[in-house]
Structure 1
Amino acid sequence: MTDADPQDLADRYIAQWVVPEATARRAAIEQLWAEEGTHFLQPPVEIREIATGLGFDRSALQARGIDAFETRVARSHEQFVKEAGLTFRSGNDAVRLHDMVKFSWQTVSTGTGEVVGGGLEILILDEHDRIKADYMFPGA
């Protein structure tokens, strides 16, 4: 473990979601993530209810590895940033406890500046302070 600043890590994490250019986005992801890092997303309630109704007992979606996470970020950027005119920002409340960093984030309209959503992020870091597990809770 290093003494990496948790707020700096949170800010870089949020920034990767809004990088418009694919090569720069990939570079940002590679700097943050362990090669086999896993992103877990608690889906919205309606998706969890549909999954439960279909007999699924898991309530999390996941992307494992840098390539899968890059796809996740690219699609999120396309849908939320490019098409919906949204951006993301950190809640400036990042804290670190050993290998865990916790922070909140907000989804903001670029047109009005209005906060339209947000959530909670919990990152588990490896010995090089790269993300090995990311637990995302939208709406938290």
Structure 2
Amino acid sequence: MTTADLTDLARDYLQTWADPDPARRRTAIDELWAPDGRLVISPIGLVVEGVDAIDAHTTRVHDENIDGRGMSFTYDQHAEAGDAALLRWSMRAPDGTAVGRGVDVVFRDEDGRVRTVYMFMGVD
């Protein structure tokens, strides 16, 4: 994965959570994720499987946290190793204060589509 590829992945993955338009978020999910992709969320032990369920989950998070509370998500760091990318993020209040942090470890398939994401919330 080149630096440009990693930057594109980070941008596109963030769009699946943060884009204000639900249709664009869904299009981004369909383009980025493998159809049978898996999102595994720690510490809550939630496993979300398939693009329809991933879309429903990201929509709920967007509606509750971004639209509902005015939060935003930013990346603090990203790195890659082979087919894996590490995306360290912060959830920020409207005043810019970080109110949550986490790390997403993204694995892509041979076609470059996201097949599995392990999300670790509460990481400083």
Give the counterpart of 1:132 among 106, 115, 118.
115
Counterpart of 1:106 in structure 2 is 90
Q: Is the 8 A contact 1:120 1:136 kept in 2?
A: yes
Q: Kindly tell me the number of residue pairs found equivalent between the two proteins.
A: 122
Q: Which has the larger radius of gyration?
A: 1
Counterpart Cα distance in 2 of 1:105 and 1:11: 12
Ranked by relative contact order (alpha carbons within 8 Å, sequence separation 6 or more), the top structure is: 1
The two structures have a TM-score, normalised by structure 1, of 0.81
Greater strand content: 2
Q: C-alpha distance in 2, partners of 1:94/1:129?
A: 17
- Matched-pair identity in %: 31
Residue equivalent to 2:11:
11
Task: Report the AA paired with residue 92 of structure 2.
Answer: V
Gap runs ≥5 in structure 1: 45-59
Residue 89 of structure 1 corresponds to: 74
State TM-score, norm by structure 2.
Answer: 0.91
Give the whole-Å Cα distance in 1 for the aligned partners of 2:93 and 2:106: 25
Q: Please list every run of at least 4 consecutive aligned residues from structure 1 whose deviation after the TM superposition is greater than 4 angstroms.
A: none
Q: Within 5 A, what are the aligned runs for 1:110-125? A: 110=94, 112-125=95-108
CA-atom RMSD in angstroms: 1.4
Preserved CA contact (<8 Å) 1:7 1:95 = no
Residue 41 (1) aligns with residue 41 (2): yes
Structure 2: gaps (5+ residues): none
Structure 1 equivalent of residue 30 of structure 2:
30
